[in-house]
């Protein structure tokens, strides 16, 4: 499945009522390959990826998705060259400056999961301000995963549970209450772009019963039609949660 195929078929109609996932998460993969195919520097791919973020977040609101979680910077991304990490931080600064007013205006609640306080002080301050400015909104949630790793999240949740509860009282609900996504709806659909088929340490607990969708489209080419196609695919699946 690709956005090109979706466009060729024409714009998809809005999904039928009851088939829209409440919470969608996306592993935004393929920026580097997108740039390489065009003989451009990797930064050009990341910049095009930011435009895809804008398209998809707006379309998610139009469709009626309650929460959208985007894997923007993993705890493993520090292994990338220093120049590339610096470029990514620059794009994050630019996104907050240019898009925050729109998020406030559109009643979007911004959430950040991950240990973003490892970032430069000015970036941390911008993130804190953005979260605060949207804190009074009561509309859809846009959650950005920054310096996030699911294994670290689970380990931290286990430590907090152990500090509060005796072992025989630590159950699934207790761990769930300590996760950084505890104020989000249950994860319904997890999408990964670029053709790779792995979760890459993203929302491992939350994805236990999520529908997984792996698409060949590189992230900068993922557009409104591609999101609607993914939502339509979700609507066609039967979710039994281990039952019949």
- Residue ranges of the annotated binding site are 29-34, 42, 46, 74-76, 78, 80, 192, 198-200, 211
101 an active-site residue?
no
Query: What is the token pair recorded at 55?
Result: 């398209």
Instruction: Say which residues have a Cβ less than 8 Å from residue 55's Cβ, sequence separation at least 6.
Output: 222, 223, 224
- Enumerate residues 6+ apart whose C-beta is below 8 A from 66: 22, 23, 140, 141, 185
Q: Are 31 and 42 in contact (CB under 8 A)?
A: yes
Q: Which residues are annotated as a binding site for Mg(2+)?
A: 29, 211
Closest CA to 230 of 240, 219, 241: 219
Residue pair 21/66 in contact by the 8 Å Cβ criterion: no
Residue 215, classified by CB atoms within 10 Å of its CB into exposed (0-12), middle (13-18) or buried (19+), is buried
Report whether 139 contacts 108 (CB < 8 A): yes
**What would the two tokens of residue 87 be?**
């470029």
Told to judge if 221 belongs to the known catalytic residues of this protein, a careful annotator would answer: no
The residues that are catalytic are: 29, 77
């Amino acid at each position: 499945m690709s956005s090109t195929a979706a466009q060729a078929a024409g714009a998809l109609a809005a999904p039928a009522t009851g088939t829209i996932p409440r919470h969608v998460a996306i592993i935004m993969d393929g920026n580097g390959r997108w740039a390489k195919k065009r003989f451009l520097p990797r930064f050009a791919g990341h910049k095009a990826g930011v435009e895809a973020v804008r398209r998809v977040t707006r379309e998610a609101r139009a469709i009626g998705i309650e929460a959208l979680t985007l894997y923007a910077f993993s705890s493993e991304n520090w292994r990338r060259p220093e120049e590339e990490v610096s470029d990514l931080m620059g794009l994050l600064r630019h996104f907050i400056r240019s898009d925050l007013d729109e998020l406030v205006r559109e009643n979007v609640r911004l959430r950040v999961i991950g240990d973003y306080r490892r970032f430069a002080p000015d970036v941390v301050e911008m993130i804190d301000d953005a979260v605060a400015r949207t804190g009074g909104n009561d509309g859809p949630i846009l959650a950005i995963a920054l310096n996030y790793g699911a294994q670290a999240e689970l380990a931290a949740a286990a430590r907090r549970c152990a500090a509060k509860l005796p072992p025989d009282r630590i159950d699934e609900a207790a761990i769930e209450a300590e996760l950084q996504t505890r104020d989000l709806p249950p994860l319904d659909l997890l999408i990964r772009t670029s053709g790779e088929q792995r979760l890459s340490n993203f929302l491992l607990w939350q994805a236990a019963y999520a529908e997984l969708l792996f698409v060949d489209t590189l992230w900068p080419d993922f557009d409104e039609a591609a999101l609607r196609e993914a939502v339509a695919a979700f609507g066609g699946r039967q979710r039994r949660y281990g039952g019949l």
